[in-house]
Amino acid sequence: MTEHTVRAAHAPSALVDPLHNRGVAFTQTERGALGLTGRLPSAVLTLDQQAQRAYQQLRSQESDLAKNVYLEQLHDRNEVLYYKVLMDHLVELLPVVYDPTVGQAIERYSHEYRRPRGIFLSIDRPDDIERAFSTLRLGPEDVDLIVCSDAEQILGIGDWGVGGIQISVGKLAVYTAAAGIDPARVIPVSLDVGTDREALLKDPLYLGNRHARVRGAAYDAFIEKYLRTVSAMFPHALLHFEDFGPSNARRILQTYGDDYRIFNDDMQGTGAIALAAALSAVKVSGVPMREQKLVVFGAGTAGVGIADQLRDAMIRDGAGHEQATSQVWLIDKPGLLTRHTSDLRDFQQPYARDPAEVTDWTAGDNGGYSLLETVKQVKPTTLLGTSTVQGAFTREVVEAMAAGTERPLILPLSNPTSRMEASPDDVIAWSKGKALVAVGVPVEPVEHNKVTYRIAQANNALLYPGVGLGTIVSAASKVTDGMLLAAAQAVADQVDVSAPGASLLPPVEKLRESSALTAAAVARAAARDSVATRTPDDPDQAVRQAMWQPVYGEGTTA
């Protein structure tokens, strides 16, 4: 050890540990008890005063990325203060710590890096998994939630290697800000299996494994070892999977979903929030769920995850399984997916159309059937965008939607903003105010013909925090389809869509209240589905009591 490292090791730990640090809010008595005498300026500030100062400092940052970096540094210094600022300004700051700015933070991770947050697991050292988690010195009862990503499909921006740790950090920040998940009881994880992005591999500052993504048996063994280790060490933790590539996302959930408490946000969370928007749209359009016709543009993890949940909702509303499946049309890079499309993925196959159906359709130059042709032929009630293709919902497509049905539901859900299939103001204008719209990122209301259209944010963040809290409060052994449906229904029940231009989903201003209602509905569903191992008499009260608040507790805290 050098003289410097010895000195650092003797720094007062209460100022270094972000879960306990209060900075200048430590009282003189606490400073004395914690060995901080002379280590802080004399004044003692309140949390509100600290939050005022931090917010002023934040406002002086010149870009959203700079604000994100500032907030991450605050997060690493003082978690209570970080969450106080975030929650006091949630509408303004959610897009900074989460979607869309988190995309930039991920791209810039190795360059903006200050200090590590979370657990970094390398596929090159699978035997380190247990030792890595042991460094946290947490016991089996101490962890509620672990978010991991292998960063193959971050939002709509693809493979970002170790930078994907920031999606795990960002998703957890939303869990705490929205649903009061205790930040001391969560762990963000990077599963670094390499990256196929040449620019990262060539960047001398890149902080991840400098090799191509490992696939096949070694990848599967790494995931299995991760699951076995974390569930043995933290048996009550919900294991959230985020932004895996389409085949791995689905395969992991299908292979391990019965044995481990897994939640795949991009399939299950996104499916449920889109279902919530669709349930609200049914109230406006009057077209019952069983009669909905859905065109999905971008048939990957999110697109087919949503298709599955909407198909199941059609079945619950009285459609037969075959009929409901036939009311879904998938479009991917080759165009409409038919049974003749080569390289269909297994999860796309149930929806592949019979080529005999489309013999009268006009094929494009590549021999496939375009989005526009499909919309004209099918006259769908709902058009979903999960393709990452900016501008794919052209004026002609939107006009065809509005010509085919009275109140089309149009969901350009791709993130971040640069990937959105259409901007809501165009969709409202091109459809002459008929379209019901929700998008993945926060956007301003749209004025059209003297009506103000409030555009719902159909981002899984409006739902997954409540799913997580409800799972934790009920100590559910798994996340069932019934719990996801209950979450979607609870979110939809919170909005009144009777006024012209009303939002299809609750606003972010009410996210905390909304997440509490969702969590209670999820806990009730867990009991109904016999997966709850704790059944509080009053789930609403249990949920509210479980919600962590950003306040300094009594007495010294180190």
Ligand X SMILES: NC(=O)C1=CN([C@@H]2O[C@H](COP(=O)(O)OP(=O)(O)OC[C@H]3O[C@@H](n4cnc5c(N)ncnc54)[C@H](O)[C@@H]3O)[C@@H](O)[C@H]2O)C=CC1
Quote the CA–CA distance of 261 and 143 in Å, as a whole number: 13
Residue nearer to ligand X on the CB measure, 164 or 433: 164
For 290, residues 6+ apart whose C-beta sits below 8 A from its C-beta are: 314, 315, 317, 318, 319, 324
Residue nearer to ligand CC(=O)C(=O)O on the CB measure, 420 or 476: 420
Quote the CA–CA distance of 526 and 481 in Å, as a whole number: 10
Reduced DSSP (H G I as helix, E B as strand, rest coil) percent helix, strand, coil of the chain, to 5: 50, 10, 40
Q: Is 464 a catalytic residue?
A: no
Q: What residue type is 120 in one-letter code?
A: F
Decide: 367 and 338 in contact? Cβ < 8 Å: no
Helix and strand counts by DSSP (H, E) for the chain = 24, 14
78 in a known ligand binding site:
no
- Considering the complex, what minimum distance in angstroms separates the CB of residue 94 from ligand CC(=O)C(=O)O? 12
Residues 34-73 that bind ligand CC(=O)C(=O)O (CB under 6 A): none
Quote the CA–CA distance of 438 and 456 in Å, as a whole number: 5
Could you say which of 82, 83, 98, 226 is catalytic?
98
449 in a known ligand binding site:
no
Residue nearer to Mg ion on the CB measure, 191 or 344: 191
Residue 145: beta bridge partners? 186, 238
What is the C-alpha end-to-end distance of the chain, expressed in Å? 26
Residue 374 near ligand CC(=O)C(=O)O by CB under 6 A = no
Could you say which of 84, 171, 293, 434 is catalytic?
171
For 167, residues 6+ apart whose C-beta sits below 8 A from its C-beta are: 102, 106, 147, 149, 151, 154, 155, 242, 243
Residue 99 near ligand CC(=O)C(=O)O by CB under 6 A = yes
Decide: 154 and 414 in contact? Cβ < 8 Å: no
Q: Could you tell which of ligand X, Mg ion, ligand CC(=O)C(=O)O, none binds residue 340, using a CB distance below 5 to 8 A set by kind?
A: none
Residue 152 near ligand CC(=O)C(=O)O by CB under 6 A = no
For 72, residues 6+ apart whose C-beta sits below 8 A from its C-beta are: 105, 114, 117, 169
Q: Could you tell which of ligand X, Mg ion, ligand CC(=O)C(=O)O, none binds residue 168, using a CB distance below 5 to 8 A set by kind?
A: none
C-beta nearest to ligand X: residue: 300
Q: What residue type is 323 in one-letter code?
A: Q
- Considering the complex, what minimum distance in angstroms separates the CB of residue 313 from ligand X? 17
Residue 265 near ligand CC(=O)C(=O)O by CB under 6 A = yes
496 in a known ligand binding site:
no
Is residue 247 exposed (0-12), middle (13-18) or buried (19+ Cβ within 10 Å)?
middle
Residue nearer to ligand CC(=O)C(=O)O on the CB measure, 104 or 415: 415
- Considering the complex, what minimum distance in angstroms separates the CB of residue 440 from ligand CC(=O)C(=O)O? 6
Quote the CA–CA distance of 464 and 461 in Å, as a whole number: 6
Residue 309 near ligand CC(=O)C(=O)O by CB under 6 A = no
Residue 122 near ligand CC(=O)C(=O)O by CB under 6 A = no
Residue 411: beta bridge partners? 384
Summarize as ranges the residues that interact with Mg ion (CB under 5 A).
243, 266
Residues 436-455 that bind ligand CC(=O)C(=O)O (CB under 6 A): 440
Residue 266 near ligand CC(=O)C(=O)O by CB under 6 A = yes
Q: What residue type is 162 in one-letter code?
A: V
68 in a known ligand binding site:
no
Residue 332 near ligand CC(=O)C(=O)O by CB under 6 A = no
Residue 264 near ligand CC(=O)C(=O)O by CB under 6 A = no
Residue nearer to ligand CC(=O)C(=O)O on the CB measure, 305 or 335: 305
Contact letters for ligand CC(=O)C(=O)O, residues 224-263 (x by CB under 6 A): -------------------x--------------------
Decide: 514 and 494 in contact? Cβ < 8 Å: yes
Residue 460 near ligand CC(=O)C(=O)O by CB under 6 A = yes
Residue 439: beta bridge partners? 457
Residue nearer to ligand CC(=O)C(=O)O on the CB measure, 274 or 476: 274
459 in a known ligand binding site:
yes
- H helix or E strand, kind and range, residue 439: strand 436-439
- Considering the complex, what minimum distance in angstroms separates the CB of residue 33 from ligand X? 46
Decide: 172 and 185 in contact? Cβ < 8 Å: no
Q: What residue type is 418 in one-letter code?
A: S
DSSP string covering 470-494, please? HHHHTT-SS--HHHHHHHHHHHHHT
Summarize as ranges the residues that interact with ligand X (CB under 6 A).
153, 155-156, 246, 266, 270, 273, 297-303, 331-333, 386-389, 413-415, 419, 440, 458-460
Distance of CA 17 to the CA centre of its chain: 27
Q: Is 98 a catalytic residue?
A: yes
For 303, residues 6+ apart whose C-beta sits below 8 A from its C-beta are: 296, 297, 330, 384, 386, 387
Residue 101 near ligand CC(=O)C(=O)O by CB under 6 A = no
For residue 70, report the phi and psi dihedrals to the nearest 5 degrees.
Answer: -60, -45
- Considering the complex, what minimum distance in angstroms separates the CB of residue 505 from ligand X? 11
Quote the CA–CA distance of 461 and 455 in Å, as a whole number: 15
For residue 239, report the phi and psi dihedrals to the nearest 5 degrees.
Answer: -105, 100
Residue nearer to Mg ion on the CB measure, 253 or 543: 253
Residue 409: beta bridge partners? 382, 436
Of 58, 81, 106, 155, which lies in the binding site for ligand CC(=O)C(=O)O, with binding defined by CB under 6 A?
155
Quote the CA–CA distance of 453 and 265 in Å, as a whole number: 28
Residue nearer to ligand X on the CB measure, 111 or 333: 333
Shortest CA distance to 294 belongs to which of 422, 381, 398, 370? Answer: 381
Residue 168 near ligand CC(=O)C(=O)O by CB under 6 A = no
Residue nearer to ligand CC(=O)C(=O)O on the CB measure, 157 or 523: 157
List the binding residues for (S)-malate: 415, 459
Interaction site with ligand CC(=O)C(=O)O (CB under 6 A): 99, 155, 243, 265-266, 415, 440, 459-460
List the binding residues for a divalent metal cation: 242-243, 266
Catalytic residues: 98, 171
